[in-house]
Amino acid sequence: MAESEHADPAPLAGITVVALEQAVSAPMCTRVLADFGARVIKVENPDGGDFARHYDDVVKGQAAHFVWANRGKESVTLNLKSEAGMAVLHRLLDEADVLVSNLAPGALARMGLAADDLKTSHPRVLPVQIDGYGAGGPISHKRAYDLLIQAESGACAVTGYPGMPAKPGPPVADISTGLYAALSVMALLYGRDRRDRATPGPVPAVAVSLFDTMTDIMGYQLTYTQHSGVDQQPLGMSSPAVAPYGAFRTRDGQTVVLGTTNDREWQRLARDIIERPDLADDPAYATNSDRVRHRDVLNEAIAAWCARHDLAHIQKTADDAGIGNSRYNLPSEVVAHPHLSARDRWRPVDTPNGQITALRPPPVIEGFEQPMGPVPGLGQHTDAVLSGLLGMTDDEIAALREQGAIGPAYN
C-alpha cells in the first residue's frame, strides 16, 4: 500500500529512542520501534561503530546483518570515553523517551547510565537493558552471544540429530529477545500517561536477558523433561511431540514435509493419502502417543508412498485431504518465492551504497505501512542531530570534532 493522505499516523510518532547497541538483539528491538515510527538515534563509536557493520561485505560492500537490523535509524558518532562526548549523550537523553542498550555487563553502570542513575538524571527516560544472563545469578557476569545462549539454554540439544546437536540457523535468541524488549517498550509507553497521573515519578526500568528469553522459548521441552525426567532427542526435520511428522523425498527429487497434529488428521493421512487403511485401523497407532512410539514404522510407509509420486501430486493430495504440507526450500528459493511476490512483500530500502530490497515487517496494519527508512552510514546524522535536535551551532560541532568527542564529518 502506498502512503497516502488518508494513512494513519505512525503509532510511535513523536517517540525518540537513543540506542547504545551492537550486533543483533538491541538493534532488532530498535528496528521494530523505528518500523512503528519512532525516531531512533543510534550512538556509535567513531572508531568503526557497531561491530556488526564489519561481519561481511555481501550487500553492496555492507554487512548483511547490519543492513537487515538497522534500517530507519540515524547514526551519531560519539566518543563516550571523552567528557564532551558523554555530555552530548546526556543532552540527547534529555530529549529522549527510551534508552535501549545491550552493552557488556557493567558498562552502563561505569558510564553512570544504569537504571538507578537514570531515575535521577533522566527520570522521563525508559531504560531498556538487554543482557546475556540477567542480574543476580552465578553466570550474570559472562559475555553472551546467540550461539552461547542457545547452547546454555538447551536449544542446541533439541536441534539436529541424536549425538549431532546443532545451532538453529537464525539467531533465535537475539531476535526473540529484541522482540520481547520492543514489546515491553510499547506496553510501558502505552501506560505512561496513565501511570504519570496515578503515580508520578520515574518510569520503570526494563531488563530482558537472552537466557531468560531462550529458556521461555524452550517451554515445551523443559516442561516435558521436568515432568517426565526424559531429555528428548532431536529428530532433524521432525518433532518429538507428534507423529507422523517429517520430511520425505519425492519421485522428482524434491523434499516434502507432511505432518499430522491430531487423531483425525492421522486417519485422513493413512486412508486418503497413502491408502493404508490397515494402519488407520490398527489400535497400535490409535493415539498420538502410540504413533510417537512407532514413528519409524509410519515414516517408512509415508516415505514409500512419497517416493512413488512427484511433489505437485503429493501436495495437491494432501491439500485436498486437509493435511498440512510444505516444500523444503533453500534460502535462494525463498528469495524468489512466488508467495512473497504475489503478496507484494518486498520494498526498496536505501543504503549508503545504493538501494536494496527488503521484506516488509510481518504485521499488516490497516491504514499504516511501516516506513522502512534508510540504513545509516557510520556517523551520517551526527551533524544533523546535534544541530536540529540539540540546537548546536556549526562552530560548536566543529569544536567537538576537534576535541575528538564526535567522529569525522560524514561524506
- Nearest Cα residue to 76 out of 372, 410, 351, 402: 410
DSSP secondary structure string, 159-220?
A: SEETTEE---SS-HHHHHHHHHHHHHHHHHHHTHHHHHHHS-SPPPPEEEEHHHHHHHHTHH
CB atoms inside a 10 Å sphere around CB 236: 13
C-alpha to C-alpha distance for 45 and 373, rounded to whole angstroms: 22
105 touches 141 (CB < 8 A): yes
Q: What is the pLDDT of residue 1?
A: 37
Q: What is the pLDDT of residue 250?
A: 98
Q: What is the pLDDT of residue 6?
A: 45
List the chain residues with pLDDT less than 70. Answer: 1-8, 193-202
CB atoms inside a 10 Å sphere around CB 258: 23
Query: In this structure, which amino acid lies at residue 392?
Result: M
β-strand partners of 161: 164
The three cell numbers of residue 163 are 549425538
14-216+343-401 sits in which CATH class?
A: alpha beta
Grid cell 535501549 — which residue?
Answer: 100
- Nearest Cα residue to 66 out of 330, 353, 410: 353
Domain with CATH 3.40.50.10540 in the chain: 14-216+343-401
pTM listed for this prediction: 0.92
CB atoms inside a 10 Å sphere around CB 12: 22
C-alpha to C-alpha distance for 355 and 287, rounded to whole angstroms: 53
β-strand partners of 365: 368
What are the phi and psi torsion angles at 57 (to 5°)?
-140, 35
Q: What is the pLDDT of residue 3?
A: 41
Q: What is the pLDDT of residue 200?
A: 56
β-strand partners of 357: 348
Q: Domain 243-326, CATH 3.10.250.10 — does that match?
A: no
Domain with CATH 3.30.1540.10 in the chain: 243-326
Indicate the DSSP class of residue 251.
T
What are the pLDDT digits (tens) for 155-208?
Answer: 999 999 999 999 999 999 999 999 999 999 999 998 876 665 455 566 889 999
